Structure 1
Amino acid sequence: MNCLAGLMDHLYKFQLFLLLTLACLGQNGHGSDIINGKKVPPNSMLYMASVQTVQGHVCGGFLVSEGFVLTAAHCGNENLTSVVLGTHNLNTVQQMIFIEKKCKPNTYKDVGYGDDIMLLKLGRKAQMDNSVQIIPLAETIININENAQCHVAGWGKTSTRGRVVNELRMADVSIIDPQVCKEKWPRLPHNVICAGGYGTNKGFCQGDSGGPLVCNGLAVGVVSFNKNFNCDYPDVPNVYTDITKHIYWIRSIIRQNNCF
C-alpha cells in the first residue's frame, strides 16, 4: 500500500510539472492577455473570435467575412481546430465552427520577419445575428496620427503573473510614431504598426496573438508580438501587423473562398 501511495504521489507531481511547463510555453504565443483594461460591455465587439485547439482557447481573432476569421500567422504553429464566435465569456459558447483551412502569405517565415497574418477558412458560414457581426477592414493607409486612441481586446491574464480570465477585456492604446518604434525595436519587421506598451501601462500581454487593433471602427492591425514574458513594462512598444499592407491578399482569398 505504501508503494502504491508513493507511486500516486510521484504521478501527481509529474502531472503538475507537465501542466506548469505547458503554461509557461504557452506564454510565448497563446491566450489573449489585456493589461490594465476593462471588461467589454455587452453587445459590443461582436466580431471577436476565440481561436482554439481541442484543449481550448489559444489565440484571438476577428470575423472579416461570413467564411473567414483573421488572426496571426504564428498561431498556426498550434493544432488549431475551431473558432468560437458570439460570446464575451468563454464559458458560454454560442457558435463553434471547425477550421477547414489555414491561409498564410507565401512571404511569412516567422513572427520576427513580419507578414504575421493568417486567414482561417471556416467549415461553414458564420451565422450573423445580434451576437455575431463582421468588422470592416482598413482598405488603404489611413491617417492615424501619433497618439491617436485605438483599442485592443482579448481573453486571458491581466498581468505578467496574473490569472487567466474568461471574460473579454479591452484596453485603450495610443499609436506610436514609427521612427520611435524602430529605435526601440532595432530589428523591427516591415509592414507593422506600433501601439501601446511604450510609455504606458496599457496594451496586450505575451500571447495576445491574433486580436485586432481597432481605430475609428476599422480593424487596422493584428496583434503580433511584444517583449517576451514581461507584460508590465513601458520600455518597448507593442507590435501589430499592418492590415492595409495585406488587404489585396485578404480580399483575393475571401473572393476566391480558398487559399492560394
Structure 2
Amino acid sequence: MHGLCTFLLLHVLTCVGQIVNGSDIIHGEKVPNNSMQYMVSLQNNFGHECGGFLITHNFVLTAAHCGKDLTHVILETTNIRGNNYLKRGIERKYIHPDYLIPGLGSDIMLLKLSADVDINKRVHTIAIPTHEQNVQENQICSVAGWGKTEGWDVDNAELRVANVSVIDLKLCYKEWRVLPPNVICAGGYGTRKGFCQGDSGGPLVCNGIAVGIVSFNKHYNCKYPDVPNVYTDISPYVPWINKVLKENNYHL
C-alpha cells in the first residue's frame, strides 16, 4: 500500500507541472452595475491578484493558492479601477490544513476582513451549499472575474462573466488522467468559454449558489484547453467553513 501511495503521489506531482492557477474570463460578457454584488477583488500592493466572494458580513471565500502577499479587498464595484468602491483590510487568512498545492486538492481559504461589511444595495453575500451539493452534467453555471481576456498584456478592470457547462467527473478524470478529490469540472475542454490565468478564487455559481472555487487549468492555454477547467467543490468543506466561522462568532 505504501508503494502504491508513493507511486500515485509521484504521478500527481508529474502532472502538477501542467497545472496553471486559474484567472481570466475568456469570451465572457461585462457584468452590469449592481449585479453579482458578492464578488470581491483580492489585492496586494500592486493591484488585483485574485477573485473571491463574500459569504458573511466579515468573511470572504477564495482559493488557498491566492494567499501569498494579499493585503486588502475591494467590494461594491464591478470596475476595480474606478473610485467608487469599498476597501477592507485582511485581518487573518485561514488556509485549509490539508492544502499544499492546487494539484493535490483542498484549494480553499477563508479571509477574515478587518471590519464588517454592511449588506446593502451595493454589496450582498452569496449562499454556499448547506449539505452535499450534486451538480449535474451539462448544468449551466457561471464563472466571473477581473482577469485578462486576451493575451498577457491586456489588463481587465471590468468584471466579466461567462456561462459554462458542468462536465461529468468520469470524463474529467479521463481527460486529466489524475485529479485531486473534491473537485468540479466545468468549461474549457473544446469550448471557447471558461477561466484562464488570473481569476483564481472566484465562484462557480449554479442556481444562485456558489458551489465551486476557480482552482486550475492547463498550460496557460486559454484559446482553449483540451481538458476541462477545475474548481474546488465547496460542499465537502462546509464543516470546516462552519468551524472557522463559529470560532469567530459568525455563522452562515
- Structure 1-normalised TM-score? 0.85
Q: Shift of the alpha carbon at 1:161?
A: 4.4
Structure-2 residue corresponding to 1:83: 73
- Secondary structure of the residue that 1:179 maps to in structure 2? helix
**Partner of 1:221: helix, strand, or coil?**
strand
Which structure carries more helix by proportion? 1
2:222 maps to 1:228: no
Deviations 1:172-197 (A, max 9, x none): 00000000000111121110000000
Please point out which of 50, 59, 74 is paired with 1:68.
Answer: 59
Q: Is the 8 A contact 1:151 1:171 kept in 2?
A: yes
Distance in 1 between the 2:70 and 2:33 partners?
A: 27
Query: Which residue number in structure 1 is paired with residue 244 of structure 2?
Result: 253
Specify every segment of 5 or more residues in structure 2 that has no aligned partner in the other structure, as ranges: 1-19
Of residues 130, 141, 148 in structure 2, which corresponds to 1:139? Answer: 130
Could you say what secondary structure the match of 1:159 adopts? coil
Contact kept in structure 2, 1:212 and 1:223, CA below 8 Å: yes
Once residues 150 and 46 of structure 2 are traced to their aligned partners in structure 1, the CA distance between those partners, rounded to angstroms, is 22
Please give the residue correspondences for 1:96-111 in structure 2 after superposition, counting only pairs within 5 Å.
96-111=87-102
Identical counterparts, % of pairs: 55
How far did residue 254 of structure 1 move? Answer: 1.3
Q: Which residue of 1 aligns with 2:147?
A: 156
Match of 1:44 among 2, 22, 35: 35
State the shift of 1:142 in Å. Answer: 2.9
| Contact 2:62-2:109 at 8 Å conserved across structures | yes
User: CA deviation digits over 1:197-230, x for unaligned, max 9?
Assistant: 0131100012221000000000000000001221
How far the C-alpha of 1:29 sits from its partner, in A, is 4.4
RMSD: 1.6
Residue 18 of structure 1 corresponds to: none
Higher-strand-fraction structure: 2
Shift of 1:234: 4.2
1:74-113 alpha-carbon deviations (Å, 9 max, x no partner): 011x211001011000012411000011101111111110
CA contact (8 A) 2:146 2:198 kept: no
Structure 1 stretches lacking a partner, 5+ long? 1-27
What CA distance in whole angstroms lies between the structure 2 residues aligned with 1:153 and 1:177? 21
- Paired with 2:171 and 2:64, the residues of 1 have a C-alpha distance of 25
| Aligned equivalents of 2:201, 2:178: Cα separation in 1 | 21
Contact kept, 8 Å, 2:212 with 2:232, in 1: the verdict is: yes
Alignment of 1:174-193 (within 5 A): 174-193=165-184
CA contact (8 A) 1:116 1:224 kept: yes
Normalising by structure 2, what TM-score?
Answer: 0.87
